[in-house]
Structure formats: structure tokens, C-alpha cells
Structure 1
């Protein structure tokens, strides 16, 4: 049968591990005075009496007995004081052991799920920044695929950066920047100069980059507008694209960031896309399990410092 006592005197087994009661035990043992213990704890003497009653009930012993020389410990209290002080030190260590991450001395690796485009646009800048701040930290780039949510949940991956609409509850996300679309062409293209319109877009031959969620947005937009491109080359990614564009009259439609990066690498011209393709946001994502992890927070902070466009994070 459960006991029915007043709130002031109810005692449970959890009281044994209540830091404030153990602190009182230690103070009474040290000071031999209820008055001094109350002053040390900033509490009233009636409250101290209630707490002492809980200790006595818990240990089934008077523990401290009033004498002419103050509150003297019983043999049971003498036997317990060492254990009590060890427990208090453990409480102190627990309360003071908030983990920290020091990038300057850390030796560890971070796995970041990202697209092939991010290898070109984000990874070089991120790597340079991390090497300057954390010389012994390694970065591993992983794919954004169907296994990514589980990898983030288990800690096999730390964060994911990209357009990742399939994540469900339990993940945080932070918008870094917004992407619109551009077209790339040979800087000496025989038919395309400063003016580039929908007529040119329909007439010219195209390269199709088939990978990524952005490719789906592009394909659906063209389908809605009944625009049929003449595709002469399909690629699974961006490897070799600048060289192909620089040596042919083909054009390609890409998100702006990767488009402008490849244009700089290959001496290509960047053209405003004449087709209305929805823009999209690039976000960093992480699992709620690691939201307060100091190392994960540091990595997310680095990405925000480098790429954030003043957007707060939200939880799905």
C-alpha cells in the first residue's frame, strides 16, 4: 500500500540521491549546527528541520542528535559521511561537465552529406575555413541518398547540406541561401551573345544533368510550359561539363551557384534563364539527437558563418 503523508514529510527512495539533502548532511556534520547550516544554504530553520526529517526517514536513523555541544552525528552518520561526500563530488562533476568542443585541439572527423554540385561550390571554402580553425579535423563528403536520414539519426553523418525535401519529424533545418537558374554556354558561341531568349533556348542543343532534386524541378517546369529541349548529351553529374561546353555549341541549365562556379572555371558565359523554373532553398539539416552536441553545433556554426543568408532554423 502506498504511504499517504504530508508534502513536507513524504520521503521516497529518490531522496537518497537528492543533492540538496546530501549537502545538508555534509553541512550538519561539519558545523554541528542547524542554524549555521540554514545560513549556508540560505534557507529557514523550519525548512532545514523538514529536510533533516527526510534524511532520518531515508536512512532510518536520527543521524544528528542535539547535545550541549551542538548536533552530534550518530555512528550511522559517521559511517555515511564519506559516501555522502563522494556523492556530492559526483554531483559537482556532473553539473560542471558540460562538454565543450575546442576546434584548435580537436582530433576527429565530420561527415557531411552533400550533392556533387556542393563539392564544387561549398566544399572548397568550407575545407579552407575548417583547416584554418581546426587543423586536425577531417571532413568526409557523403552522398545525399535514401540512407542519409538514418545516417544523421545514428551519427554516421553529422549534417546534410542541400535540397532535401524528404526529411520528416525529428530533424532541424536552417536555410542557408536561395537558388535560381542560369544557362551556360561557350563564351564564343556562334549564335548566342548578350541577348538570350526563349527562342534561342528552344532552338539550341542542350546538355541534361540528370542527377539531383533540382533536375526534377527543372524537368517539371519545362513540362508544364510544354518546352521540349533538344538534348544531345546527358550527364550524371558535373564532371567534365566545363570542358564540353568550352569545346561545343551546347548549352546547359543549372542552379545559379554551380553555374557561376563552373563558368569561372571554364571561361564560360552565364546567361539568364529564359524559362520560369522555381527557385529553391539550400539548407543544412541535422537530427534532434545532436542539436546540442558541441561538435555538431560548431560545424553548423561554421556553415552558417560561411553560407547563411540571415535565415533562422526551424524544426520539422
Structure 2
């Protein structure tokens, strides 16, 4: 059967309704059509299915055995179409069972993920969150649906992506509050002469490197870490200095009781955004997740 031979949706709706009401007149009223129009539709359906479907009796329009056999499949088709048309509003966070994968830096594991997790556990107990790295695979993962969102400074993501700015980030320096040479403020001279701990990865790291180059600052790097794990305790137990985006810097300072200083030279600010692929722009679950992120973090910074 070709597409042109498929019955119109209105004919299936008539069949479903007429099977219940057993009256062409009542079916026409409920469909908002004239009785002659509904009679014409019924004639088309009879011709298409090569069966009378309904015969007149004292008790009304009585279905034939063929109609009895077809009403189940007809209603399955109509229910499938209803589910199809309601797809956009079908996501209920209170009852949904689903995994969302979010690409983010390990700094976001500390600054964003705990708050997001608390909200999701309270509002959507059946949702499982999975944090993934931002790397060269992120764009492909968003396009394929393997990942739902990427949160961070990811200017290299290609076309086909939507984005929403959450907040701006500037830069701060962390130091031991009992540092023997850094007291009330960190000067540029001290920054040049002190030892540093640096993080190898980070979505804004390139901006810091550009600023160091611009200001002709060559840091004395004593320790390089692959991520944020252990950074707070290292700063607290040494005289090393770390330069970080404000959110992660202030969070580590609060947790580890270490000092936050203004960065003594200008570093370009950057926007933290959430990114998603255009294929999933209208998908109900993705829309819900994006609204959660925006509600929680768009006023920060």
C-alpha cells in the first residue's frame, strides 16, 4: 500500500467515534461537521476498506464483523498519533526515569554540580546525572545525543549548536592566609617572584596564558596538576600561588580557609555558557534540563 492509499486521519477519527455513538447524526455533531459531509466520509472509508462497516438497524448503526476486527488497530493508530503529537510536553520530571549526561570541567564538579544535584534529587528523583569531560569528543557527543549539555567556556564548538550565557568570570589568585610574603594584597612584583601551582586543563586557561604573554610574565611553576583535586589543600599547606577563575577560586577558598586576592594584572573575562545541539532544541527533557541550569546559575557572577 502506498502513502496515497492510506486512509485520511479524519476517516479514522470518524470510524472510532461512529463505533461508539452508532449514529451518523451524533458523530457529525461531535466532529463539528454536517451530516452530508460525514456520510461522504463514511462512503470513502467503506470504499477504502471494501466493507459496509456499519449497517442500519432499529438500535442504530451496528458494526459489521469487519468493523469489530478493525476497531482495535484503528484505536492503536490514533493513540500512537496522540502520543506523537504530545511528545513535546510528555516529560514530567517528577516521574521521569532518565539519564542526563553533562559535559563540564572538574572545576564545575565543585562549583555547579552539587547545587544541580540537590535540585534534581528534590524535583526529579528518578533522574540520573552523569558528568563527562569537555574534550575533543564533546561536539560529536552533543550531536549524537550521547551528551545532553556542555557547560563552560567552549568557543570552539561548531555550527549546529545553541548556547545560553549563564554568567561572566573574571580571575583571582589564591594564597595561604599565613603566606610569609603576601599579606593584605598580592602585588605584581610578588606574583612574578613567587612559586606557582598551575592546572593543566581548564576551558579558560588560554585567556590566562595570553594575558601572561601580553604582560611579559613568566611564572615560576613549581607544581602542575591535571585538575582541581587537592589544589585547596596544597595552597593551604605551602607558599605557592594559584590563578583561577573567580567561581572555583572563591569556592576553594571558602572550603579550605585560604585567602583570595585580586589578580594583579588584567586577564580577559569569559562567559560561562550552556551549549546544546540544534537537534535537541525542542526535545522536552533537554528543555527541562536547560531550564534547571538557567534557573540555578544564570544570575551568578
**Fold agreement, TM-score > 0.5:** yes
- Residue pairs, 1:165-204, within 5 angstroms: 165-204=155-194
Shift of 1:37: 3.4
Q: Does 1:93 align with 2:79?
A: yes
Contact 1:34–1:71, Cα closer than 8 Å, also in 2: no
- Residue pairs, 1:4-83, within 5 angstroms: 12-14=4-6, 16=7, 18-27=8-17, 34-52=24-42, 54-59=44-49, 78-83=64-69
Shift of 1:211: 0.9
CA distance in 2, matches of 1:139, 1:64: 54
Q: Does 1:140 align with 2:130?
A: yes
SS in 1 for 2:159: coil
Shift of 1:164: 1.8
SS in 2 for 1:160: strand
Q: Does 1:261 align with 2:224?
A: no
- The correspondence for 2:201, drawn from 198, 206, 211, is 211
CA distance in 2, matches of 1:96, 1:163: 40
CA distance in 2, matches of 1:62, 1:138: 53
- The correspondence for 1:238, drawn from 228, 235, 249, is 228
Structure 1 residues 83 and 167, CA, compared in 2 at 3 Å: closer, same or farther?
farther
Shift of 1:217: 1.3
SS in 2 for 1:193: coil
Aligned equivalent of 2:117: 127
Structure 1 residues 208 and 71, CA, compared in 2 at 3 Å: closer, same or farther?
same
* Contiguous gaps of at least 5 residues in structure 2: none
Structure 1 residues 29 and 166, CA, compared in 2 at 3 Å: closer, same or farther?
same
* Contiguous gaps of at least 5 residues in structure 1: 1-10, 311-316
Aligned equivalent of 2:210: 220
CA distance in 2, matches of 1:233, 1:121: 23
RMSD: 3.2
Q: Does 1:277 align with 2:263?
A: no
Relative to structure 2, which stretch is displaced further, 168-177 or 212-221?
168-177
CA distance in 2, matches of 1:116, 1:32: 65
Relative to structure 2, which stretch is displaced further, 277-286 or 52-61?
52-61
Structure 1 residues 37 and 245, CA, compared in 2 at 3 Å: closer, same or farther?
closer
| Normalised TM-score (structure 2) | 0.81
SS in 2 for 1:206: strand
SS in 2 for 1:213: coil
Aligned equivalent of 2:298: 308
SS in 1 for 2:64: helix
1:171-215, Cα deviation, whole Å (9 max, x unpaired): 332222211111111112233233334333333332222212211
